[in-house]
Structure 1
């Protein structure tokens, strides 16, 4: 089977480059879905469409004793491509800055390699399901699409990889327990009467109130939640006003709230809204808060991590598995783990001795040897699941 993965690698690299050059943001992944559908069907793999974008495919025993699922996410980010690669994004303002094109090529490679040994899967009573998920980068994410469509029914274990540009290609970061953080979206709108900047005392100084909220709300949360929970409210978008001498009537801030501890995350109900209103009240400005619950932490099952560790050794070498730590990143793979046990691995994408890139930045460059490494590991992990 590993020989089949290796045979596929040149084509997988070309497919990944095509995906990279033609990115699609969340819930618009129609071209990507069509490409996957055509490719899988060309290899005699049955495909089930999701209601909008994305798909589910499966190989192996029709009535399995055990079913493992491998998940890839399809969507890109609204980030301009600054990589200057020959296959850089051709879509203005959009690129695969999180490596989802690599995830897709990895799971596609595992699917085609496992299809090539399907008789062995049937003999083992094993089925492998491939979840090509849309809309990981938004809240609520496309993991709910999979669950609502019944894609997790009958699945005993689910596995995934996520690109990690901080570790070398050929290595895989593994850890038991929490590996990501809970992540929510916070959308705050302030409203007031507006007025002249020469007379802030006769109106409501909304811009000043917004500035206070931007600094005081994260500070207040850090004092209302257990410090060990690692709470971080960070603003990504702020806007108010159109003129230097006009106090605006509305202001807006959008950010993410991340928490390492799932219990503190569950206890958040209403707290952000109350604090925002209390901060705005002295300035006679009203605050409306949309607290959009996103994802709980991804919590890796130790038995699934042990499986991935064995797969790393068999597919990549005895030293391929390396330790990794919990991050403040959010991942809606966590919702799939509500249905069964599983784990997410961090796939090394850094060229040894090369530059360390950051995710969600337009200059991200991934060592394409990661495609072969990920496909080899996931294919072996699926086979070892029986």
Structure 2
């Protein structure tokens, strides 16, 4: 048994042969401290320089050779059975890799928790659990490195720390363009879920998230006095009609099972109560459960907005910003995560999860290679308060960290060696 591992306690299913034991307390404490440090120093998308440096330093200290991505944030790091990522053994270098992906960016919202590791950066917070994802992949990398040194790593693994997940259309596209998937034949990831207890994960085969796009609409026309609206383009009314009628039109032009939903987050028009403005603006998001309907969404939205705007004699400019497709879990990769979690925590540790309306740029990887994402339980068992992501008081039960590390480690060891 190598120094990073301790004997595994029994679970309610037979242990998989060849899996390591539980994380020792020294490593668990290190990872909790690492996560808290990230939590105190959150960085927005494509600005994750401190986070990237912390990861690079720790991986190099473990004897690995991380490579920072071209934009200067995020990195990839390969762990091969012979440890040395610079190997000139062509056969070993050619073997496909299993990628473990983490997103490293934070959100532009204030951290309102009263905890010692509260964010020290104003209006910045790890309110989506990316600090946990990052720590889990780092921890799995440290364990897998030790297993590689002792000859127990059956296949090469790539650690992928991706920037800018929260920035549409997501940093995954830049990571792919930078070679993050070169040589990879499968990819897995975790995402924190405050509705699932720590020590458990949620899984489903097929779509597990939704597509998410952003819309920005500008309406313009002749303004004037509110006493004579018939001589103007009544843009406030036009904007209100776009806001209410476009979502209704879309609901009649797609299959209801596609789950297409257009929701507005901002409407702005005018500055005085007796002046009809010459400009109005709307912005919002379109989400869709179905991949085929998502592909048709831009044309459908353009047509609906143009119809309503024309009815009110308003000129219309629509900036349709493509976001991300749904994350569609591939069956074999989903089964791998299920098997790995069951081996570590027992058959009762996996629950079936529903498809969410949230978007995730992990989907761009799955457009190119098979893979799956699991929902990592981070709720303290027994706590039944309703919590959600992207809120300033978001936090996790840190017992989820060693669970996540052991799950990813087991997935790497159980994944078929190519």
Contact 2:23-2:402 at 8 Å conserved across structures: no
Deviations 1:219-247, CA, capped at 9 Å, x for gaps: 11111111110111111222223333332
Which of 24, 44, 59 is matched with 1:40 structurally? 59
**1:5 CA displacement:** 6.1
Number of residue equivalences? 385
Superposition misfits of 4+ residues, deviation over 4 angstroms: 120-123
Of the two, which has the highest radius of gyration? 2
Deviations 1:115-166, CA, capped at 9 Å, x for gaps: 1111356763x11101101111121111101110111011111000000101
Cross-structure match for 1:155: 184
Is there any run of 5+ residues in structure 1 with no aligned partner, and where?
none
Structure-1 separation of matches of 2:113 and 2:271:
34
Is there any run of 5+ residues in structure 2 with no aligned partner, and where?
1-19, 82-86
Contact 1:72-1:132 at 8 Å conserved across structures: yes
Contact 1:5-1:376 at 8 Å conserved across structures: no
**1:83 CA displacement:** 2.1
Contact 1:59-1:128 at 8 Å conserved across structures: yes
Cross-structure match for 1:110: 140
Cross-structure match for 1:367: 397
Structure-2 separation of matches of 1:283 and 1:145:
41
Structure-1 separation of matches of 2:153 and 2:45:
38
Cross-structure match for 1:57: 77
Cross-structure match for 2:279: 250
Which of 5, 17, 20 is matched with 2:39 structurally? 20
**1:101 CA displacement:** 0.9
Q: 1:123 to 1:259 in 2, by over 3 A?
A: closer
Structure-2 separation of matches of 1:98 and 1:245:
44
Aligned pairs for 1:82-161 (under 5 A) are 82-120=112-150, 124=154, 126-161=155-190
Q: 1:85 to 1:197 in 2, by over 3 A?
A: farther
Which of 286, 290, 314 is matched with 1:261 structurally? 290
Structure-2 separation of matches of 1:193 and 1:309:
60
Q: 1:346 to 1:26 in 2, by over 3 A?
A: same
Cross-structure match for 2:193: 164
Aligned pairs for 1:1-386 (under 5 A) are 1-4=20-23, 7-52=26-71, 53-61=73-81, 63=92, 65-120=95-150, 124=154, 126-354=155-383, 355-385=385-415, 386=417
Instruction: Say which is worse superposed, 85-94 or 165-174, in terms of deviation.
Output: 85-94
State the TM-score, normalizing by the size of structure 1.
0.95
